[in-house]
Amino acid sequence: MEQQVEHSHLPVRGLSLHVAQAGKGELGTVVFLHGFPEIWYSWRHQMLAVAAAGYRAVAPDWRGYGLSDQPPEPEAASYDDLVEDLLAILDALSVPKAFLVVKDFGAMPAYEFALRHPSRTCGVMCLGVPFLNGGSSYTSLPEGFYILRWREPGRAEADFGRYDVKRVVQTIYVLFSRREIPIAKEDQEIMDLADLSTPLPEWFTEDDLAVYASLYEKSGFRYPMEMTYRTLHKRKPIEDPKFQVPVFVVMGEKDYVFKFPSVESVLKDGIMEKFAPDLKITYIPEGSHFVQEQFPDKVNDLLVSFLKDHPVSA
């Protein structure tokens, strides 16, 4: 795979951001935006598929992740930074307009980018997270809910610090591949929820784990925790949001996110259609939170088909 993917660093708003690319892009550019605990490599299957179909695949590591620089003040993390970074990446690569493929927390800056910069966006395909204007309330969930735990400054870092990075990534993949929301008891931390003997999912190899571990050994978890979990409550609802581009939401039916407050109703009660008039929703029956790695061929087919139906043009 590495022979087909080119790596470079771009100067972006005072930081050096790592970008992986594949394909020549005769049909346009597709930008892949990762979530947590992921990095550019999370899109390895999809990058090659769109490149083979005639598109240019671009997958950055967000600031503070993977091979990208760490921001000097992690505690000042904001989703606005990611929106502006994405705009700067497109400018640096001379991409006037791109189709966005996003996942997990990467959905938030992508949705905001599409709303703020419709002239730079051809469409959005999101895995696992519908558009929730202003975010979701977690007050109905127990104190041991992983987002509430990891929102506390230093708590996740102390929890993770008991183990090597490889074990941390493995545990998160095992836990987050399940249908149930990770919730710890009062005397537990989140890392205590997975048995050491639990094998990796069959679609996630030891080689994959080694790549993730090496990149999180470089970046650490401080900024990913700040960005992913400690800024959620700071997000403000967008006034009268209305997507001017096609939006495609793909959900694994066994994704634990379905059990978050309001997620299922947003998807199934027509709420998201109020914000996204050109909306398509597809469900993958056995799909987990990591559906693009679990069922790469299925996701690739859905993606390439949607791209063909919605041409990516400048």
Q: Tokens representing 112?
A: 């905001």
Q: How far is CA 263 from the centre of its chain?
A: 17
Q: Tokens representing 224?
A: 């990913």
Q: Is residue 60 packed enough to be buried (19+ CB in 10 Å), middle (13-18) or exposed (0-12)?
A: buried
4 — phi, psi (to 5°)? -100, -10
Catalytic pick from 34, 229, 255, 256?
Answer: 229
In single-letter form, the type of residue at position 249 comes to: V
With tokens 């029956």, the residue in question is 285
Q: Is the omega angle on the peptide bond into residue 37 within 30 degrees of 0, that is, cis?
A: yes
Instruction: Identify whether 289 is a catalytic site residue.
Output: yes
Of residues 129, 109, 61, the one with CA closest to residue 289: 129
Q: Where are the alpha helices (DSSP H) in the chain?
A: 44-52, 79-92, 107-116, 146-151, 155-160, 165-176, 206-219, 222-229, 263-268, 291-294, 296-309
Instruction: Identify whether 104 is a catalytic site residue.
Output: yes
Q: Cβ contacts of residue 252 below 8 Å, gap of 6+?
A: 128, 283, 284, 286, 287, 288, 289, 291, 294
Catalytic pick from 61, 85, 104, 208?
Answer: 104
The residues that are catalytic are 104, 229, 289
